[in-house]
Amino acid sequence: MEISFMRSKIAFIDLNLTKTNACRYLPVNSQRTMKYFILSILITFAEAGIINVQPKCVTIRNIVHEEEVLKEKVHYPYQLALDYDTNTLFFSYTARTTETFKMAYLNLKSNDYGLVSGIQGGFASAVDIQSHIVYMGGEDGVYQFEYNTKSAARLNIKSDVNIWQMFYKDGLYFTTYPEEKAYLYKNQEIMQVSDLKDKVMVLGVKKDGSYVYSNSSGLFIYNKASGKALNIGDYVVNGITSDIDGNIYFSTPSGIYYIDDERNKIEELMKQEEIYGVAIDGNGSIIYAKEDSIIRLKPAKGNCVNNRVENDVL
């Protein structure tokens, strides 16, 4: 059965124009600069369409949702990941003074917030919800987060690579920069995801094991059974996540989307400028990152009128 996906109308940029093949030989500091430069391009792409009125409510699937600001004054939060067991959100952000990447945590129950120490250039995270392990990616490989010390310890997993993004499903998947390769760490073994011949910046895994990945050419689904990759749209993907049931969502600088396997289409959940990443909490609520804040959308009574929730008056 041929899958028919709706294509996005948003433009995309060729990230390969921002680097050369020689980039892989650059020292860590130069790679860090290039990594920051590419993120800056994505940020500029998001800011190009900023509107003056920031909506405080949005209607998703005919249900009004109201914004709940979870955290303010975090500069360009990125790569969101949620530990459902502790209800702790992990994310990367850019330090304003040094323009370096930092990892932070935010407990959604207690509002406990802090920086993760011990990681160099923290940029990515993923959670093994079965084993209760939080993995983090830095500019020198893979780390594991320790809740007791709020620090990260480097593991002996590809310590010679710069991690761009992570995703966990039956193993730890991660992508590297500037190579744009995808790897799987499983059963204490590391292997490159050989099925993916294309460059991979952001990667997710569906419930059936199919890969969802993006690069400068758009968003693709790779079907293991057929051995073919299908381009499903020219999306500039800056985040891929799954909910507690394994359903796949992704974000672009201008919207949040759901991959609907039952109807074989991509569902646009919300359209809004200046989005930097997405996660789904245990109740199915959308959490997303803005320029200087992290927001959760919660169902609300009433109507969304002029970007505000208004209750009916009898």
pLDDT band of residue 204 (cuts 50, 70, 90) is very high
pLDDT band of residue 38 (cuts 50, 70, 90) is low
User: In the chain, how many H helices and how many E strands?
Assistant: 1, 27
Residues 297-312: b if buried by 16+ CB within 10 A, e if exposed: beebeeebeeeebeee
**Which two three-digit tokens encode residue 250?**
């992704």
Least confident of 56-60, 94-98, 115-119, 295-299: 94-98
Measured distance CA(217)–CA(227) in Å, rounded: 19
Mean pLDDT across 187-197: 94
Measured distance CA(273)–CA(72) in Å, rounded: 18
Cis peptide before 299 (omega within 30 of 0): no
Alpha helices in the chain (DSSP H): 28-47
Model pLDDT, residue 87? 98
CA distances from residue 47 to 44, 71, 119, 251, 307 in whole angstroms, order as listed: 5, 20, 29, 15, 20
Q: Are 39 and 19 in contact (CB under 8 A)?
A: no
Q: Is there a domain that residue 46 lies in? A: yes
* Nearest alpha-carbon partner for 277 in 263, 305, 296: 296
* Nearest alpha-carbon partner for 66 in 313, 311, 291, 292: 311
Q: Is there a domain that residue 3 lies in? A: no
pLDDT band of residue 33 (cuts 50, 70, 90) is low
Least confident of 8-17, 45-54, 103-112, 269-278: 8-17
Q: Is there a domain that residue 2 lies in? A: no
Model pLDDT, residue 122? 95
Least confident of 28-37, 135-144, 189-198, 238-247: 28-37
Q: Is there a domain that residue 7 lies in? A: no
* Nearest alpha-carbon partner for 278 in 246, 220, 237: 237
Q: Does residue 120 or residue 18 have the better pLDDT?
A: 120
Least confident of 45-49, 69-73, 91-95, 185-189: 45-49
> DSSP code of 8?
P
Q: Does residue 240 or residue 36 have the better pLDDT?
A: 240
Residues 6+ apart with CB under 8 A from 159: 140, 141, 142
Q: Does residue 111 or residue 6 have the better pLDDT?
A: 111
Q: Are 170 and 186 in contact (CB under 8 A)?
A: yes
Q: Is there a domain that residue 312 lies in? A: no
pLDDT band of residue 56 (cuts 50, 70, 90) is confident
Checking if the pLDDT of 9 tops 80, the result is no
Average pLDDT score, the chain: 86
Highest mean pLDDT among 32-36, 95-99, 270-274: 270-274
pLDDT band of residue 7 (cuts 50, 70, 90) is very low
Q: Is there a domain that residue 238 lies in? A: yes
Number of domains making up the chain: 1
Model pLDDT, residue 26? 46
Segments forming the whole domain that contains residue 226: 15-306
Q: Is there a domain that residue 89 lies in? A: yes
Task: Identify the CATH number of the domain in which residue 266 sits.
Answer: 2.130.10.10
Q: Are 24 and 199 in contact (CB under 8 A)?
A: no
Checking if the pLDDT of 52 tops 60, the result is no
3-state secondary structure of 45: helix
